[in-house]
Amino acid sequence: MKINCLIIDDEQAAIDILTSYVSSIPSLNLVATSLNPLEALEIVHSQKIDLVFIDIHMPELSGLSFIKLVKTKCKFILTTAYKQYAIEGFDNNAVDYLIKPIAFERFLQALQKVQIPATPTIPVNEGNQTSTKSDNFIFVKTDNRIQRINLADILFIEGLGNYVTIHTEKGKYITLLNVKDLEESLPSEQFTRVHRSYIISLSKIEFIEGNHIYLDKDLNIPLGDTYKNQLWAILDGKTITGKRSFF
């Protein structure tokens, strides 16, 4: 049986992200999206809605006020950039609380709390591109927008305190995240931590010399002692020649 969903957010970029995620789950049926919570109230009362993804901060009506008006008609998953409203959200019977930018893996965890089968199919992305797997891109908040970044475009990620710079073939993006959080959101078969401040894309390595990983002859990333064994273990299965004397 399909679970009827509604997405409510006053930012179209945030709606687009969740629409992509919902479309990749066979058990979910997206009934509608709305930029206006007052308009969304009519949708909830006129149609069968089982699950609502709703932003907390909206000008016409807050997500928490919306939940109080609808009461127990459907289940709610809150979305926001502000962690401090989590307790209030759960006090209003929200099932889960997603912090923007929302990672696809975290979205799947929220569905499990609603007891929805969360096996993704191949989602269709913007333009004419079709993804080959559900985790071939991420979204991050940068400047005043939510930016989609294809994993295949990432060269390396550089951390500085609570910020990271994601260096890609198309440019670089700065976002409020730390290296550890981003590392946990990336597929380990494609990316690995090589320094306390750096994550690299394994497919972009040209060569390793001493304590430096070269992505090309003019771009190199330091290799920290703590992360050497982890990198050697990954490369061991891909090394065709015999002894690794340079290791």
pLDDT digits (tens, 9 = 90+) for 161-214: 778 999 999 999 988 888 888 888 888 889 999 999 999 999 999 999 999 999
Q: Are 230 and 192 in contact (CB under 8 A)?
A: yes
Is residue 124 domain-resident?
no
- Residue 88 is predicted with a pLDDT of 53
Question: Residue 210 belongs to what domain range?
Answer: 149-236
Task: Give the closest residue to 113 by CA, choosing from 87, 131, 95, 99.
Answer: 95
Same-domain pairing of 156 and 103? no
- Residue 128 is predicted with a pLDDT of 31
pTM over 0.75: no
Q: What percent of the chain is predicted at pLDDT more than 70?
A: 82
- Residue 131 is predicted with a pLDDT of 35
> Is the confidence at residue 38, as pLDDT, over 50?
yes
Task: Give the closest residue to 30 by CA, choosing from 48, 1, 4.
Answer: 4
Q: How many domains does the chain have?
A: 2
Domain boundary residue, one of 64, 94, 113: 113
> Is the confidence at residue 215, as pLDDT, over 80?
yes
Same-domain pairing of 171 and 226? yes
Same-domain pairing of 89 and 172? no
